[in-house]
Structure 1
């Protein structure tokens, strides 16, 4: 489970996002990060049972993203993220491609899966798979249980114009316009502090699993 102290640290960090405060509270950060790393280890073990492509060899420390922000190209110059993220790739031990992602953030925690903003070659391959086997993807994302958990898959960020090589009368055009292929479900803070959190997340991810299989098959 995620400890109450982890949420308290993140909430205070959001209100004091500066180096002086962070250094004064470095021990709290380290304790909160260890809490998330411990949870990541348990999550990897159980997720491997749901999706064998989540390697049991994943290092929990490497799966927990650094809290330091890259501000080089951002107008927002605050130095720290106000969340902890756990990335579980399905391409061995390297990120990139279809994955599962868990974020701990007071009031904004969520579990997600799929492929966010695929690189050009992968996006082309995914669109080709949709063009050839769009029915398979529709079966996944239009399932009543999927929609109840994740909402309408087609409503995420998409092109305003037609993608290259595809016409407006293509039966899968709304799926072909998508820039990302993500399913995400918001979680309540109180649920993250319960002992059954791993079971809850893996149950949700079992519904994301067919989507990730479809995406992986497209880019092999």
Structure 2
């Protein structure tokens, strides 16, 4: 692994494109060296390059450039309970989780690389019921603070607004008259900025991601406070 990040090579996206057509263990084993050199190593370089910029934003989130057990997601799919038995994910991704993320379900930062789309941002994905209730309660108890989050100019310019699938009806314990009802219905809270594979191939991609994470901090502060973790 080299010491710096200069953009994700096109060869890595070419590998993912071929993987779509050859998603088998035999093909992957025959091309494992390509995977490491064109996709895994550049992603580890990216993670390592995020250590200092992430620490400047918040000291509580971790950029861990290990091959296993760190910020990089494994390319192997968990097919135990899936009808889709393809053994490998057809994208690469990393997640900068909270330092307490192994002990509590906390917000995090994310990067996703695929041949047809690249996106990055922050939030909390399908939190367990107790954490989700805390977030909903915080929105209800501090509606002005949540309004400042969703109306933040930098956040809206970068992401367009808060996303995340939601319920059709108000969640249990809340009513149709509750403030910010659309957000209370959410089961996931995320901010995602979409880019192109070509943009990810440039050295400036790192700073683009850092800029988006900075724009996401108002929501990250709110979510962390809601689930009782430092930010």
TM-score w.r.t. the length of structure 1 is: 0.92
The alpha carbon displacement at 1:156 in A equals 2.9
Aligned partner of 2:46 among 32, 39, 44: 39
Task: State the Cα deviation string for residues 9-28 of structure 1 (Å, max 9, x = none).
Answer: 11111121111211111111
Aligned partner of 1:206 among 194, 205, 214: 214
Structure 2 matches for 1:70-81, cutoff 5 A? 70-81=78-89
**Residues 55 and 93 of structure 1 are in contact (CA less than 8 Å); yes or no, is this contact kept in structure 2?**
no
Unaligned runs of 5+ in 2: 1-6
The alpha carbon displacement at 1:93 in A equals 6.2
Task: State the Cα deviation string for residues 45-85 of structure 1 (Å, max 9, x = none).
Answer: 211112222246x3443111100000112221111001111
Q: Indicate the residue corresponding to 2:3 in structure 1.
A: none
**Residues 166 and 187 of structure 2 are in contact (CA less than 8 Å); yes or no, is this contact kept in structure 1?**
yes
**Residues 107 and 123 of structure 2 are in contact (CA less than 8 Å); yes or no, is this contact kept in structure 1?**
yes
1: CA distance, partners of 2:49 / 2:161: 30
The alpha carbon displacement at 1:44 in A equals 2.5
Greater helix content: 1
Q: Indicate the residue corresponding to 1:126 in structure 2.
A: 135
Aligned partner of 2:27 among 12, 21, 32: 21
The alpha carbon displacement at 1:130 in A equals 0.6
2: CA distance, partners of 1:102 / 1:55: 14
Q: Indicate the residue corresponding to 1:109 in structure 2.
A: 118
2: CA distance, partners of 1:14 / 1:202: 30
2:216 is the counterpart of 1:181? no
**Residues 100 and 106 of structure 2 are in contact (CA less than 8 Å); yes or no, is this contact kept in structure 1?**
no
2:91 is the counterpart of 1:86? no
1: CA distance, partners of 2:84 / 2:145: 41
The alpha carbon displacement at 1:134 in A equals 2.1
**Residues 88 and 101 of structure 1 are in contact (CA less than 8 Å); yes or no, is this contact kept in structure 2?**
yes
Inter-CA distance 93–167: structure 2 relative to 1 (3 Å threshold): closer
TM-score w.r.t. the length of structure 2 is: 0.88
Unaligned runs of 5+ in 1: none
For these two proteins, the number of residue pairs brought into alignment is: 218
**Structure 1 stretch displaced more, 162-171 or 141-150:** 141-150
